[in-house]
Amino acid sequence: MKHSFAAGLVTCLLAVILWGVQFPIAKDAFAVVDPFHVTLVRYLIALSLLLPFFIWREGLASLRYEGKSWLVCSMGAMGMSISPLMVFYGISIAGAEHGAVIVALQPSMMALTQWVISRKRPAGFTLICIGVAFLGVVMVVTRGGAGIRESADAIWGSVLILAGGLCWVYYTLGTERLKGWSVWRITVLTMLPGTATTLLFILTVTSTGLLASPGVEDYRAVAGELLFLALFGVLFGMLAWNFGTRRIGPLNSMLVTNLMPVATFAWRAAHGHQFAQAELMGAAIVLAALIANNVYLRIQHLRTRAAA
């Protein structure tokens, strides 16, 4: 049992590191290929590898939506298309470190969303932690208020990332309504409409002249980045996360998720980026608030189990 927990913890940590590192790598790719085509290629590569394996594993019959096509297709459009498009475009404007910090707020966004939908109010301590975390994000984006005028683009990009995070919350909440479906089936059947949505969006904006299609040489120039984003950011990251979460539980895995900005900031620092002190302080405040809330939720969960 201890070995299973340790293996789950390590794989969850691996997934978080991969997702944290993919933000600056994607930012580098955007200098050559726009974030919209990067998103499309990323999912096309992942889907071309995942779909044959899924059919071999669960059979063609598992490709049926079983009367849930509207739910699953909307989940795919929101979580596998609109969410990454907004997050990646926001990162291209605001920066990789801003993206990592804001994405780390997703558990908080989910708590607030569930409050609105189910009228289940989060604990007072959780609300305090959410408020502190959002203040930390504001410090990161505005560099402590000193760069408000100069950071209009960063603020706009951060809003897009936040909106993309909310789209992923919709996707995550939707998975709870797919009881009996395997993780593989949920992933493939949402990735198919998600990839189609992205393709339709790109065809529309390129046909109107708002977006130019990259050339073959452009793709070759960032082939390494695209492969990393597809293989490690989507496939390996997803597999490691699902493997680990089933062994250590959602509360423990969510605690590991909070370390994503650490991976992003460390990668950027290792490549010579100089952070403002306010950015580092803001990121530390976000991490401290999120970790404190996760520890609180874990303690409450253990008390509930002990009482039962």
Rounded average pLDDT over 1-30: 84
Number of domains in the chain: 1
Query: For 65-117, how does the pLDDT look when each residue is reduced to its tens digit (9 = 90+)?
Result: 988 999 999 999 998 899 999 999 999 988 888 788 888 777 777 778 778 87
Instruction: Burial-class residue 304 by CB neighbours within 10 Å (0-12, 13-18, 19+).
Output: exposed
pLDDT in tens, 156-165: 888 899 899 8
Q: What is the pLDDT of residues 277-290, one digit of tens each?
A: 877 888 888 888 87
pTM for the model stands at 0.83
Coil, strand, or helix at residue 105?
coil
Specify the pLDDT at position 290.
Answer: 79
pLDDT beyond 80 at 243: no
| Chain mean pLDDT for the chain | 84
* Cβ–Cβ under 8 Å, residues 90 and 147: no
Q: Name the residue range of residue 188's domain.
A: 2-307
Residue 159 to residue 165: CA distance in whole angstroms: 10
